[in-house]
Structure 1
Amino acid sequence: MTEPTQYISGLISSLNWDEVIDKLIEVRKRQLVNPLEKNKEALNEKLSLWKSLSEKLSSLRNSAWDFYMGYAFQNFKVLLNAQGIDPQSVIEVSTSRFVEEGAYELEILGLAQADVWTSKVFSSEGQPLGLEGLLRINGLEIQISSEDTLQTIRDKINTLGDAFKASIIKVREGEFVLLLRGEKTGEANALNLEDPQGLFEFQNLIRAQDALLRVNGLTVQRPSNTINDLFKGLTIQLKRALPGTTLFLEIKKDTESLIQKIEDFVKGYNEIVSFFREQFSYQEGTIKPLMGDVTLRGIKSTLTSLILQKVDLPEGFNALTFIGISLQKDGTLTFEKEVFLEKLSSEPENTTSLLQKVSTNLKEYLDKLTTPFAGLLNLKTGLLERQIERINEQIDRQQYLIEKEKERLRQQFLALEEALAQLKSLSDWLSRQIDISFKNSK
């Protein structure tokens, strides 16, 4: 049946059918859709909590990784001092994780230099020079013709390789020189320049030389100002020579950085314990989303066991509590910095070995939980996401059926209105006929 262009609900019956239909549909939604929405909300809350726990466990795993790999014990501080000057203006020092402790006195006697040669002055850079002859640089020949300009000669030189480069310098108006510079510093990289005809009358402005420095009284030469083979794991960048000034360089273990890493580990573990406590705590009338979850209880139990475990080390160094990391009654960890520093000072090898062994076992377990795709928590969240997806499909299906039912009810009420209209029309006709008959009978 075609729906009228204009539709007024209850025009004949004086009933608001739209309101009646909406109330009926709302009842159907409460019966069919609301339970699904409530279930979906509960699953989303669980999913959010598992993802939050996964992030916390991944962070703890990253903290354990530093101890497992030994990186946490390989942090060093560079102490650089000099009297009366800023030592950073003379050298820069950087370290790698392979650096070793040590103390050194440095005196920078000279910087490494690259060879620099300059030609005689020419009056033009773009006009033919009228020169003919041969130029050799490190055995490589450049043929000079009378048509060559200073620019073309520069370009010919620069096609010969990367060991040297030519450029043109404008000294003043109408005066140009050809500058030839070696690309590497050091005496071994001095340029072998031959100008048999004396076409350019080259002069050596800067001679190639090695860097020269004195280390603890020993004179040392290097071809570069970047020196990375003087001390293990240490790179020194020479910035300027300063004969007569001694720089004091000390490389020492950065225990502050190690302490910070342990504190970060303890903090990360305690955040996870707080998560457990929150989910397992009971409040009257309130049920936490993960309160009875067996997986969560298993994770809590395993983490506690790994923290309390004894490892294969001498007695007194086979559990974390001996180096100041202790488990409290509420499940959290405390860290006694002074105890740890005393143990690290007296027994550095056993102390670091203990942290590495505990972290290795902890990391291996956390890998099983947090590894993408195959980790237990990834599987857990994946299952919840699929459940939510199925509920969304059910909600969409029910919404579709409810809309169809709404349309069916609307059509039924329209038909009822039309039937009522016909009945009213018949009633009106009968009333008129009765009135006419009554008048005629008089």
Structure 2
Amino acid sequence: MVNRIGGLVSGMDVDGLVKKMMATQRAPLDKLFQKKQIAEWQRDAYRAVNTKIQTFDTYMADNLVLKELNSKTAASSNSKLVDAKATGSATGTISVEEVKQLASAGRLIGAQKHESATGSTKLSELGVQAGSTIEINAIQSNGLLAEGDTKINITEDMTIDQFISKVNSSNAGVTALFENGRFSFTAKNTGDVKDGPEIVLTGADALGFSADDLFNPDASKKAKIIEGQNALFTVNGIETERTTNQISISGYNLTLKEKFDQDTPVSISATSNIDEMVDKVKDFVKTYNEFVKDLTNQTKETRYSDYPPLTEEQRKELSESEVKLWDEKAKSGLLSRDSILRAGLSNMRSLIYQSNPGVEDSNFDTLFKIGITTTKNYNDGGMLEIDEDKLRKALTENPEAVEQLLTSTGDANGTVTKVDSSTGVEITVEADTRGFVKKIRDSLTSFKLAIETKAGRSNMSEDKFAIGRDLKSTVERMDNLKRRLETIEQTYWKQFTAMEQAMNKASEQASIFM
């Protein structure tokens, strides 16, 4: 470190002179700083686009993949007997001719031997020892008894209410109750376990479930076993048995509500909800257009090359409002004319015009045929518009074909069977059978990967993506240049210090001569 003498003899503003001289030397470092700042802004802009891609993809998954586009409404000829709801796959009419028996849950009712007990009574007062365990096995939704039991550990001073609460909040598969001196356990799942009980209690003898309690001579007080039973019904002439009254069959979700005989059959049918389907398509087009418009605008945003990022020194010289306005200009057009965004948008746009050979009805195998086209303004970047009358007509005539065109999973390398026009023979040919939504989602995946190759993700090291490697190289160059500038600054100070020392010596000699 050079001992600095700042113009004590010469009277010069050495510190100011050095700063001015260093400002010239620092110009290359400022250029590198600005380059680094632009790269960081651009990286963040790319990642913001990927966030929007993910948001759009999630929207499609939630609204057009997990939920069926073909919304149907079920009609039951007697909803008091059989209630019905239709899924998108509901087809035809089904008839429930008879319900002989409704499914019910198994139940164990303990003996009435604790008449004086209340919810605050301790289990120890009923003869249940602290440290003991009550094990519970109950019927599962598949109609089988659970293999693993649920253990309820009895702690010291545990009350009846605490025990009931612990059972009901567990995964035992039962609902426990204590009332009028008796315990009861009811299976949460209905149905009959073939060749076995629906609930098994182990270690609960003191609660009124011992063998003696079952055979108590006082019938009003003895323990009871109420067996669960399956639903027995006939649908389209087929006698059927299920463990529950909620039944999924042929695309319908039925709820058996009462028993009835063959004299009062219940007919179930479904119709497509055209209004709801139109609304879903319109919402998708609206979301698609917002996404396309946003990215198109970014590729067209003006780039102000005369507004490079401000250095710290430059920021100090401007007011807060001036800095804000400058930054807005400096950050504008970071992705202007960007090749990755333009390619991604172009790929999406090309999918709009493709037909789908996988759609069985060729009258509805393109978006155009169901009333969805691009806007006439090329500058819109491929935004969509809907001829609602045409869409409604297509949905009315063949809703399944429209659903297949839009949301079928299909395969990019799939196959379809068609008749050779020259020979009349059926042949199998390769074809892209993906629905439009699946094509868009696959296109977005490629789009997203291209951006990650350029700008990475927040959890990726800089070596893994292009901008990161450039940033790393720029930072290394900046560090080297900073070390070089420190050496130059020391040299300047050394020179001025030597000048001051020489002038001081000359002054001393002049004083001697005087």
**TM range, normalised to the smaller chain?**
0.5 to 0.7
> Judging changes above 3 Å, is the alpha-carbon distance between structure 1 residues 71 and 423 closer, same or farther for their aligned structure 2 residues?
same
Q: Give the letter aligned to residue 390 of structure 2.
A: V
2:137 is aligned with 1:118 = no
Q: Are residues 1:348 and 2:365 paired?
A: no
Deviations 1:226-272 (A, max 9, x none): 6345775637598xx999xxx99997655555444433432343232
- The answer as to whether partners of 1:185 and 1:224 remain within 8 angstroms in 2 is yes
Compute the TM-score of the two structures, normalised by the length of structure 2: 0.57
Cα 1:120–1:311 shift into 2, 3 Å:
closer
Match of 2:109, SS?
strand
The aligned residue for residue 140 of structure 1 is none
Q: Distance in 1 between matches of 2:483 and 2:256?
A: 73
Indicate how the Cα distance of structure 1 residues 402 and 75 shifts in structure 2: closer, same or farther if over 3 A, else same: farther
Q: Identity of aligned pairs, percent? A: 16
Within the alignment, does 1:378 sit opposite 2:452 as a pair?
A: yes
Match 1:269 to one of 267, 273, 288: 288
Equivalents in 2 of 1:393, 1:92: separation in Å?
Answer: 72
Name the CA shift for 1:26/1:364 in 2 (closer, same or farther; >3 Å): same
Counterpart for residue 212 of structure 2:
195
Look up the equivalent residue of 2:34 and give its one-letter code.
K
- Structure 1 unaligned segments of length 5 or more: list them: 126-147, 432-442
Counterpart check, 1:158 vs 2:134:
yes
- In the alignment, which of 11, 19, 35 is matched to residue 8 of structure 2? 11
**Contact 1:75 1:254 survives alignment (8 Å):** yes
> Whole-Å Cα distance in 2 between the matches of residues 14 and 261 of structure 1?
81
Number of the residue aligned with 2:493: 410
Give the Cα–Cα distance (whole angstroms) in 1 for the partners of residues 95 and 23 of structure 2: 84
Query: Aligned with 2:364: secondary structure?
Result: coil
Residues 411 and 402 (structure 1), Cα distance of their counterparts in 2 relative to 1, 3 Å cut: same
Larger radius of gyration: 1
Equivalent residues, number: 386
Letter in 2 for 1:310: S
C-alpha contact 1:211 1:223 (8 A) present in aligned 2: yes
User: What amino acid is aligned across from residue 158 of structure 1 in structure 2?
Assistant: I
Structure 1 residues 248-327: aligned runs within 5 Å: 253=272, 255=274, 258-270=277-289, 271-280=291-300, 288-312=333-357, 316-327=363-374
CA shift at 1:13, angstroms? Answer: 0.9
Three-state SS of the structure 2 residue aligned to 1:33 is: helix
Question: CA separation of 1:364/1:152 partners in 2, compared to 1, >3 Å: closer, same or farther?
Answer: closer
Distance 1:72 1:180, change over 3 A: closer
Amino acid at match of 2:253: L
Letter of the 2:383 partner, please give it: T
Q: Using the alignment, how far apart are the partners of 1:190 and 1:279 within structure 2?
A: 66
The gaps in structure 2 that reach 5 residues or longer are 118-123, 140-148, 162-178, 201-209, 261-265, 307-331, 409-434, 456-464
1:382-435, Cα deviation, whole Å (9 max, x unpaired)? 21232123212222322232223223322332232222211111111111xxxx
Q: Is the 8 A contact 2:89 2:251 kept in 1?
A: yes
The letter for the 2-side match of 1:332 is M
After superposition, residues 7-406 of structure 1 pair within 5 angstroms as: 9-30=6-27, 32-62=28-58, 71-73=67-69, 75=71, 112-121=104-113, 150-152=126-128, 158-159=134-135, 177=181, 179=183, 181=185, 183=187, 189=197, 194-195=211-212, 202-204=221-223, 207-208=226-227, 210=229, 227-229=246-248, 232=251, 234=253, 253=272, 255=274, 258-270=277-289, 271-280=291-300, 288-312=333-357, 316-330=363-377, 331-355=382-406, 356=408, 357-370=435-448, 375-381=449-455, 382-406=465-489
Look up the equivalent residue of 1:265 and give its one-letter code: F
Q: Which residue of 2 aligns with 1:144?
A: none
TM-score, normalised by the number of residues in structure 1: 0.65
> For residues 168-219 of structure 1, what are the alpha-carbon distances to aligned partners after superposition, in whole Å with 9 as ceiling and x for unaligned?
979xxxx995636464655664789742996795525684454879999x9x
